[in-house]
Structure 1
Amino acid sequence: MDIDTESTATSLDENTENFCDNPTRDTIAEGLMGLIKPTVDQLDERVRATRLSQVELRQCIEGLSEELKRISEDQKHSIDLEVYLKKLINAKQRVTVLSNILQSAQERLNRVHMSIDKETVKRKVLLNNTIEDPHSVVLSKNIGSSMSLQTPLYNLNDFPDVYEPSEDTHLFIDALEKDMKYIINSKPTLACEIGCGSGVLIAALAKILKSTCCYFCTDINPKACIATTRTAKMNKVPLECTRMDLTTNLKCKFDIVLFNPPYVLTEELEIFGCGLNRAFAGGLRGRSVTDRLLNNLNDILSDNGVCYLLLLKENNIGEIGEKMGEKGFKIKLVIQRKIPGEHLFVYKFSKA
């Protein structure tokens, strides 16, 4: 047994040695490795690229998930477009006001040209009559003697921050003309225009009442007070104009009050300041300033006094009528007019 065991071990050692020193095997192994290694390296690169792509894909999925979650949360809250719609409407109304101002200026220029042409023709006729008959006297007292109430003279070239008389101003003058008989018969002694601007309304009223009445004006815009004073001088109207908010510093009561308020629907912040925006910006309902006056109208008017007030259709005139009726006022429509973009009214308020 010992002999056999020893010989077997020797045989195994020899075989192992022969295997390790086999050059043919080594050559074949190197050849196989040379063939396989590029493929393995290529697979390794592709596996590495796949892992990187998976990381990027994971990041994209996480980002998309967050975006979808944000969109889902946003959809829970409805978008309020009413605010933007109101801003567009307010912008449209402001553009309409400016357009009316420009149109009014153009119409005024046209009237000036017509007046010049008429005056030229009239002077030619007078000159011809004088030449034909030197002893004749041409009387022109009837020229312009009709009861139509013309827009008073004014000049705002130095006052860009003062509201230019526009369609609303002319409608107000037409209201005074239409109610002229009532105004004269009421024999007022104290009159006041609130927010006088250019001063043409109080000057128009003075054309009706002449020197039988004392005239006062107020405006929050100091430039408007100066412009009104100039208008008064141009039309030879004696008046007192003071810078103030409505009639806060006046303790007397008036027989006639004129008020063409800022009536355009705007944001509430636009009603502050003292520039041109104060002339048209009326707040969300166009009544921020108007309501303040109406709430104190009982303390402003005399017992037989009247207030002429211009309103826009969007100012909710029905609601104003109900509130003032509850306060004991009579309300009467004097005149109304539709112009591009606006429907305007002039109402007369009096104590019942």
Structure 2
Amino acid sequence: MTAPVLAPAGGLGRMWALPGVYVPQEDTLLLARAMRREGVGPGRRVLDLCTGSGALAVHAARLGADVTAVDIGRRAVTSTRVNALLAGQRVTVRRGDLTAAVAPGSRFDLVVSNPPYVPAPSAEVPRRGRARSWDAGPRGRLLLDRICDAAPGLLRPHGVLLLVHSALCDPRATVDRLAGAGLRASVVDRDRIALGPVMRSRAGWLRDQGLLAPGNDKEELVVVRAERI
């Protein structure tokens, strides 16, 4: 087995991660910046869905929030627990499929999520392997749509969802789905970055699907903010 990695995470510190666990990248940092505007601190309840290495969960805990982190992967759950321990922070870590791991009736002031969103030829999310951290169906929306649908039931009044993904996955569809669920939603952050290794490896397929323009070697990341009114 490949050894665990200790990956730099910008202003979030360094994250320990078992093989196959998503380590903090540009999308993580973009979401962390959006979190800082939401007044995360003592007395606030935060839920991190698809926590990966737990970088955002630990960040929220450092700010004083009461944090729950969820991931379906055993290695992600272990990595998050280790990172919380190394940071000296208290994070409730649960393993499960999105909201199935959250206690019924639980409500949060802030829900953050950096889910798998890379468009992939398969119509199903992988059950194992590294691709489980990023593959999300032909349009990249298998988890995005589920999170949008679940968000109203997770938020307290005036609670906020922050959801990051690639513009290849159609941000307008995210905003419209959240608005249709009764939330006030908009794109609040954007960042244009070079295509990463996974996107580059399937650039031809993405172009064939009309998701990536010919000659384009960059993608735009977006953060969608949705508030329960």
Change (3 A) 1:227 1:205: same
Q: Are 1:272 and 2:120 an aligned pair? A: no
> For structure 1, which segment, 303-312 or 326-335, has the greater mean C-alpha deviation from structure 2 after superposition?
326-335
Contact 1:153 1:234 survives alignment (8 Å): no
User: Given the alignment, which residue of 183, 186, 193 partners 2:39?
Assistant: 183
Deviations 1:101-155 (A, max 9, x none): xxxx6xx4xx9xxxxxxxxxxxxxxxxxxxxxxxxxxxxxxxxxxxxx8213322
Q: Are 1:206 and 2:65 an aligned pair? A: no
Give the superposition deviation at 1:184: 4.1
**Structure (1 or 2) with the larger CA radius of gyration:** 1
Instruction: State the distance in 2 between where 1:152 and 1:161 align.
Output: 20
User: Given the alignment, which residue of 93, 107, 131 partners 1:241?
Assistant: 93
Q: Are 1:330 and 2:184 an aligned pair? A: yes
The two structures have a TM-score, normalised by structure 1, of 0.53
Instruction: State the distance in 2 between where 1:152 and 1:192 align.
Output: 20
Q: Are 1:347 and 2:202 an aligned pair? A: no
Give the superposition deviation at 1:270: 5.4
Deviations 1:11-47 (A, max 9, x none): xxxxxxxxxxxxxxxxxxxxxxxxxxxxxxxxxxxxx
Contact 1:188 1:256 survives alignment (8 Å): no
Contact 1:220 1:274 survives alignment (8 Å): no
Deviations 1:223-244 (A, max 9, x none): 1000000110111110111110
Give the letter aligned to residue 228 of structure 1: T
Contact 2:51 2:69 survives alignment (8 Å): yes
Contact 1:257 1:308 survives alignment (8 Å): yes
Change (3 A) 1:188 1:261: farther
Instruction: State the distance in 1 between where 2:53 and 2:178 align.
Output: 29
Relative contact order, CA 8 A, sep 6+: which one is greater?
2
Instruction: State the distance in 1 between where 2:70 and 2:92 align.
Output: 9
Deviations 1:190-213 (A, max 9, x none): 2111111100011112222x2xx3
- Between Structure 1 and Structure 2, the one with more strand by share is 2
- 1:307 counterpart residue number: 161
Give the letter aligned to residue 14 of structure 2: L
State the superposition RMSD in angstroms. 2.0
Instruction: State the distance in 2 between where 1:184 and 1:197 align.
Output: 20
- 2:203 counterpart residue number: none
Other structure's SS at 1:169 match: helix
Instruction: State the distance in 1 between where 2:118 and 2:154 align.
Output: 24
Instruction: State the distance in 2 between where 1:173 and 1:214 align.
Output: 16
- Figure out how many residues of one structure are paired with residues of the other and give that number: 198
Q: Are 1:151 and 2:16 an aligned pair? A: no
Question: Following superposition of structure 1 onto structure 2, how do residues 250-289 of structure 1 map, counting pairs within 5 Å?
Answer: 250=102, 251=104, 252-269=106-123, 271-289=125-143
Give the superposition deviation at 1:329: 0.8
Instruction: State the distance in 2 between where 1:163 and 1:184 align.
Output: 23
Give the superposition deviation at 1:280: 0.6
Calculate percent identity across the aligned residue pairs.
26
Give the superposition deviation at 1:269: 4.6
Deviations 1:170-223 (A, max 9, x none): 22222223x1xx3248x6532111111100011112222x2xx32111111001
Contact 2:55 2:80 survives alignment (8 Å): yes
- 2:150 counterpart residue number: 296
Instruction: State the distance in 2 between where 1:257 and 1:165 align.
Output: 18
**Consecutive aligned runs of 4 or more in structure 1 exceeding 4 Å deviation:** none
- 2:73 counterpart residue number: 221
Contact 1:152 1:235 survives alignment (8 Å): no
Q: Which structure 1 segments of 5+ residues have no match?
A: 1-104, 112-148
Change (3 A) 1:316 1:269: closer
Change (3 A) 1:189 1:274: farther
